[in-house]
């Protein structure tokens, strides 16, 4: 291994170790499945490693965030349609054995893959609104309204739960 590739590997490893917790969580927020999240992060980071020279110059965090969301959307497109009787409960996280539940997970659960990507990229990964719109092929208004609708739905769900709790 040359000194150059050693240096490249060292930089990449430092980046991975620093980015890992947030990236891994972002993947879980997208996929709601620990195994799929693991695969998504592996895919995004492997792509980053393969292009590390350029990625490093252009901004590694920005690149890997985009790669993660692209991988998630691409994975969703490749899934074959599932017969309706086999569909999991849309409001339930698919795998909570490792990841904690949270209000954010709850907010994202009923959203479509594209809506989840919008919210995670914009708010969790702190991507500028116009970049999210450009990357996902939607208008800036859609970025805002997606989060707003999701919040309204979450509030409604909480209100419903509160009412049921009060009635008991």
Binding segment for other proteins among 83-91, 93-101, 110-118, 156-164 (CB under 8 A)? Answer: 93-101
Q: Applying CB under 8 A, which of residues 6, 7, 35, 42 lies at the interface with other proteins?
A: 42
Interaction between residue 61 and other proteins (CB under 8 A): no
Interaction between residue 77 and other proteins (CB under 8 A): yes
Q: Shortest approach of other proteins to residue 159 CB, angstroms? A: 15
- What are the structure tokens assigned to 24, written together? 């891994």
Question: In whole angstroms, what is the distance from residue 66 CA to residue 148 CA?
Answer: 22
Interacting positions 1-40 with other proteins (CB under 8 A): 9, 12-13, 16-17, 20-22, 24-25, 28-29, 34, 38
DSSP track, the chain: --HHHHHHHHHHHHHHHHHHHHHHHHHHHHHS-HHHHHHHHHHHHHHHHHTHHHHHHH-HHHHHHHHHHHHHHHHHHHSPPPPGGGPPPTTS-S--SSSPP-HHHHHHTTS-HHHHHHHIIIIIS---HHHHHHHHT--HHHHHHHHHHHHHHHHHHHHHHHHHHHH-
Q: Shortest approach of other proteins to residue 106 CB, angstroms? A: 9
Q: Shortest approach of other proteins to residue 66 CB, angstroms? A: 6
Binding stretches for other proteins (CB under 8 A): 9, 12-13, 16-17, 20-22, 24-25, 28-29, 34, 38, 41-43, 45-55, 57-58, 63, 66-67, 70, 74-75, 77-78, 98-100, 102-105, 107, 119, 122-124, 144, 147-148, 151
């Amino acid at each position: 291994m040359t000194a150059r590739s050693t240096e490249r590997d060292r930089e990449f490893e430092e980046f991975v170790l620093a980015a890992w917790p947030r990236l891994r969580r972002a993947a879980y927020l997208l996929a709601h499945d620990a195994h799929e999240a693991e695969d998504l992060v592996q895919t995004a980071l492997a792509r980053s490693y393969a292009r590390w020279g350029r990625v490093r110059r252009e901004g590694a965090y920005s690149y890997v965030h985009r790669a993660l969301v692209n991988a998630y959307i691409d994975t969703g497109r490749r899934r074959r349609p599932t017969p309706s009787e086999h569909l999991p409960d849309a409001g339930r996280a698919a795998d909570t054995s490792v990841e904690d539940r949270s209000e954010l997970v709850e907010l994202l659960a009923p959203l479509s893959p594209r809506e989840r990507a919008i919210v995670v990229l914009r708010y969790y990964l702190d991507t500028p609104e116009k970049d999210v719109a450009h990357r996902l092929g939607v208008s800036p208004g859609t970025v805002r309204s997606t989060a707003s609708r999701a919040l309204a739905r979450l509030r409604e769900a909480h209100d419903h739960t509160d009412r049921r709790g009060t009635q008991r």
